[in-house]
Amino acid sequence: MGQVHRAEHRFRWLALGAFTLALSCSQGKQEPAARIDVDPATTRSPTAAPGTAAGVRREWEARRDPADGLGHAWLEGASDKVPSYERAQPAHFVIVYEAEGPGIAVGGSLELRVPHAFGWSVPRLTHPEMPGFVEVEAPDGVTVESGVSKEATPRPMVRFQLGGRPLAAGERVRIRYASSTDVLAERGERFWISVDGDGDGQAAALADAPQIDIVAGKATGLVAFWPATAHPGERVRLRVAALDDSGNPARGFEAPIEVNKPPGVEGPQSLPASGATQTAEYGIADEGVYQLQVRTPDGLAATTNPLLVSRSAPRIVWGDIHGHSNRSDGTGPPHDYFRYARDVAALDVAALTDHDHWGGPRRLDVDPAGWQEIRDEVQRFNEPDRFVTLLGYEWTSWLHGHRHVLYFQDDGPVLSSADPRFETPAQLWAGLRGLPALTFTHHPAGGPVATNWAFAPDPVLEPLVEIVSVAGSSESPDAPRVLHNAVAGNFVRDALDRGYRLGFVGSSDSHDGHPGCPLLEGCGLVAIQTEELTREAVFEALRARRTYASNGPRIVLEARLDEYAIGAVLPPAASRTLSIRVNAVAPISKIDLVRNGAIVETIDCERRRELRIERTVRDLASGDWLYLRIVQIDDGAAWSSPFFVE
């Protein structure tokens, strides 16, 4: 009997708010890493997990016998509907399995994978009085040996090996599982049952795994967002959502929402009293910075992000381009992910990036139905000028670090890191060459698998790096809210020191079904500078690195070096003017200018929220790079993509 293998991603990140360590104080500036003169294919991430990679490969290569994955399973008392449960409540589940066809041979097995994280109890075979207790009941003559097992999956799994005599078609096995339910609302949470019918050690999942719905709680707060920028006279959309204390859209929300508008904002004074997500349009004739306040009669309230109305400022749109659904190790179906991104988080751009081979028995790389579902939802939600959705997945390499693949069209292949043909970043880029695609690496500085920077990012396919997510910042040891298990020398600043030209994005890496994480302090978002909101325009802007990253607050940032936008490659010059404009969400404590690996100036911002400053930058020589880091007094931060000198 092995140990229970816990979800590395989800358990840790749920609790992350409390663990943002003060690495920034304890570590100085890292020496620039030396260039590695070896074949990168023989190198590994400094935190590579070869054992996990081998397990994933074994599953990829596994032979599926026709006797595997047969039969039916359901929740006792709920055979023809999906039952609903309150969240975070103790519950007893009885899963009934009925064999069919050849049944299960002596030595064959059943496997149960329970939902993981956010409140579910880890299965145990001892201590019946404790949460998570699992017991099994088989027909006369069939013996069962149970074990909780360590597998290449983040879901805790219990294996029941059958003996004595075969389990014949029509015979049933009953499995009892006592657990508290998820704290997150979720449609279609699954108890996966896999069957090894012939006893060769390889099981396959049943298609109709028992599922339940977890319903949301009552409203405990509001969130309100509107765009970052607009031109005078343009109509802008306000979105308000009532959420429960876990960030789920609230159940049974019926209160009217009053809107407190500053002078010059034309539009409704109140929103209808029905439903957890509401929207209204406003018009603003004059240039300026505007915020709205919203409130319910019983005192739930929120303030929007700042909206910069300007004739000349470049348009900024907000995106979250890294998150997970129940198609891997996340929460809720892809449909609900995109609906939340649009209606609650009020994002302009969203990508769902489920793992190629991780999170349960429905691996994307071997299950065409999963990839089809994601493609369908991406297509359904894409609405140019309003909400751009991108097809993507996470190339989850346990040897070289995790990368996202984004496609800027309705279709694209899942090139799996478990597939020997796409095992290294270079092989992945070779497979993507010529497609409207790009890749970026995430939590590059650390766990679970830090980026193997020996592979130079492909200059066409990989223009970006995820500098911040809910796991923390990978910028540098002196960043606010540093990734808690960062590896010295593996930060984004170290990668720039190697001469890599990478623009910056932030994204949530949400596993809770809440892309854009509107309730969390310390998350990740990307601001994209694009006049048009279409896939083509977003693709062009991302490739040009016209982006900045935020760890949550929707700070409006414009920075130019003479006429060059952020992310640009520009010729050397004796002197250039850096123009910076910031509209922050909280008072700004400082702006750091980072040049060639070091902070060259820290501007004290005297706790102002709005700032326009200019600086002369001298002696810009070939190979130089320069970026800005804006830090609010609450550690909310934004990072501009660097300017690069040719």
**Nearest to Zn ion of 144, 471 (CB atom):** 471
**Nearest to Zn ion of 196, 509 (CB atom):** 509
**Nearest to Zn ion of 325, 547 (CB atom):** 325
The candidate with the shortest Cα–Cα distance to 59, out of 355, 450, 401, is 355
The helix/strand/coil state of 54 is helix
Could you tell me the smallest distance in angstroms from the CB atom of residue 44 to Zn ion? 16
Could you tell me the smallest distance in angstroms from the CB atom of residue 324 to Zn ion? 6
Stretch that binds Zn ion, among 142-150, 216-224, 364-372, 502-510 (CB under 5 A): 502-510
Residues whose CB is less than 8 angstroms from the CB of residue 140 and which lie 6 or more positions away in sequence, other chains included: none
Stretch that binds Zn ion, among 63-71, 290-298, 400-408, 610-618 (CB under 5 A): 400-408
Could you tell me the smallest distance in angstroms from the CB atom of residue 592 to Zn ion? 28
Could you tell me the smallest distance in angstroms from the CB atom of residue 366 to Zn ion? 19
CA 636 to chain centre: 19
**Nearest to Zn ion of 295, 355 (CB atom):** 355
**Nearest to Zn ion of 116, 402 (CB atom):** 402
**Nearest to Zn ion of 402, 554 (CB atom):** 402
Could you tell me the smallest distance in angstroms from the CB atom of residue 294 to Zn ion? 32
**Nearest to Zn ion of 393, 627 (CB atom):** 393
The candidate with the shortest Cα–Cα distance to 416, out of 354, 345, 496, is 354
Determine the residue with CB nearest Zn ion.
402
Question: Does a cis peptide bond (omega within 30 degrees of 0) precede residue 368?
Answer: no
Could you tell me the smallest distance in angstroms from the CB atom of residue 319 to Zn ion? 15
The 115-144 site mask, x for binding Zn ion (CB under 5 A), equals: ------------------------------
Query: Could you tell me which residues are beta bridge partners of residue 457?
Result: none
Rounded Cα gap, residues 132 and 492, in angstroms: 41
**How many CB atoms neighbour CB 623 within 10 A?**
11
Residues whose CB is less than 8 angstroms from the CB of residue 25 and which lie 6 or more positions away in sequence, other chains included: none
**Nearest to Zn ion of 402, 535 (CB atom):** 402
**Nearest to Zn ion of 336, 509 (CB atom):** 509
Q: Which residue type does 260 have?
A: N
**Nearest to Zn ion of 363, 402 (CB atom):** 402
Could you tell me the smallest distance in angstroms from the CB atom of residue 502 to Zn ion? 18
Rounded Cα gap, residues 71 and 643, in angstroms: 59
The helix/strand/coil state of 334 is helix
Could you tell me the smallest distance in angstroms from the CB atom of residue 322 to Zn ion? 6
Rounded Cα gap, residues 172 and 99, in angstroms: 6
Could you tell me the smallest distance in angstroms from the CB atom of residue 473 to Zn ion? 16
**Nearest to Zn ion of 239, 402 (CB atom):** 402
Rounded Cα gap, residues 299 and 301, in angstroms: 6
**Nearest to Zn ion of 353, 632 (CB atom):** 353
**Nearest to Zn ion of 504, 644 (CB atom):** 504
The helix/strand/coil state of 4 is coil
Where does residue 125 fall: left (phi above 0), alpha (psi -120 to 50 degrees), or beta otherwise?
alpha
Structure tokens at 141: 């003559």
The candidate with the shortest Cα–Cα distance to 632, out of 545, 552, 570, is 552
Count of residues interacting with Zn ion (CB under 5 A): 2
Work out whether strand 301-303 and strand 277-284 pair parallel, antiparallel, or are unpaired: unpaired
Stretch that binds Zn ion, among 21-29, 158-166, 272-280, 509-517 (CB under 5 A): 509-517
Where does residue 409 fall: left (phi above 0), alpha (psi -120 to 50 degrees), or beta otherwise?
beta
Residues from 332 through 361 that contact Zn ion (CB under 5 A) = none
Angle at which helices 368-381 and 334-343 cross, to 10°: 20
Stretch that binds Zn ion, among 21-29, 337-345, 504-512, 598-606 (CB under 5 A): 504-512
Could you tell me the smallest distance in angstroms from the CB atom of residue 568 to Zn ion? 29
Q: Is 511 in the site for Zn ion (CB under 5 A)?
A: no
Structure tokens at 373: 């579902």
Decide if 637 contacts 542 (C-beta within 8 A).
no
**Nearest to Zn ion of 470, 578 (CB atom):** 470
The 360-399 site mask, x for binding Zn ion (CB under 5 A), equals: ----------------------------------------
The 462-501 site mask, x for binding Zn ion (CB under 5 A), equals: ----------------------------------------
Could you tell me the smallest distance in angstroms from the CB atom of residue 346 to Zn ion? 22
Among 509, 512, 558, 592, binds Zn ion (CB under 5 A): 509
> Tokens 């609903």 label which residue?
84
Query: Could you tell me which residues are beta bridge partners of residue 603?
Result: 591
> 352-364: buried (b, 16+ CB within 10 Å) or exposed (e) per residue?
bbbbbbbbbbbbb
Decide if 277 contacts 343 (C-beta within 8 A).
yes
For residue 210, what are the CA distances in angstroms to 90, 356, 360? 18, 23, 14
Stretch that binds Zn ion, among 79-87, 162-170, 291-299, 402-410 (CB under 5 A): 402-410
For residue 572, what are the CA distances in angstroms to 262, 270, 502, 623? 45, 54, 19, 9
**Terminal C-alpha separation, the chain:** 59
Could you tell me the smallest distance in angstroms from the CB atom of residue 609 to Zn ion? 32
Q: Is 402 in the site for Zn ion (CB under 5 A)?
A: yes
Could you tell me the smallest distance in angstroms from the CB atom of residue 331 to Zn ion? 13
**Nearest to Zn ion of 132, 472 (CB atom):** 472
Stretch that binds Zn ion, among 222-230, 425-433, 505-513, 623-631 (CB under 5 A): 505-513
Could you tell me the smallest distance in angstroms from the CB atom of residue 243 to Zn ion? 23
Q: Which residue type does 294 have?
A: V
Decide if 154 contacts 9 (C-beta within 8 A).
yes
Stretch that binds Zn ion, among 69-77, 138-146, 401-409, 425-433 (CB under 5 A): 401-409
Could you tell me the smallest distance in angstroms from the CB atom of residue 510 to Zn ion? 9
Rounded Cα gap, residues 401 and 422, in angstroms: 13
Which residues here bind Zn ion, judged by CB under 5 A? 402, 509
